Amino acid sequence: MTELQKNPLNYTQVSVIADDILKNVEFDALRIVFNKFQSVVSFIPTMATVLSPEAVERESESGGKLGDLDSYEIEGAESKSEILQNLTEFQFSCVLFNAVLENACSEQGARMSAMDSSSRNAGEMLDRLTLTYNRTRQASITTELIEIISGASALEG
């Protein structure tokens, strides 16, 4: 992928990216770092770890947590290694898509918060400028009144 667009990525696009990573990058465990959305004003830096399909297969063959897959019968299924391969690829694309969505939510929250602060600051600035304008105008009117009264007093006296 050489170009990223302004529109948010959808699952199909993320799946293509995930497939490209799986084909072109050798890894045992891949760590995806992203901002996890908490609220409009807060997000948490988070790291998700995904094992490569080869690492999952090694784990399965060594009788680890994935060794129990033999106890399940899957109709029309390929071999155990192909099932693990497909599930691992699907899990990787789902984790990557989740990271993209969480990061996008965090970005929108930060933008909303920044725009809210900006709008509030602009309102306060407008209030201060209005007050300054009114004080200046009042001082100008007061000066004119003093000049008129002084001129009238000079004519009478």
Q: What is the DSSP letter of 65?
A: G
What are the sequence ranges of the domains in the chain? 11-126
In this structure, whether the domain defined by 11-126 belongs to CATH 1.20.1260.10 is answered with: no
Q: Are the C-beta atoms of 22 and 53 separated by less than 8 Å?
A: yes
**Tokens describing residue 101:** 């969505």
pLDDT in tens, 15-71: 999 999 989 988 888 899 999 999 888 889 999 998 888 887 777 777 666 555 555
**pTM of the predicted model as reported, rounded to 2 decimal places:** 0.69
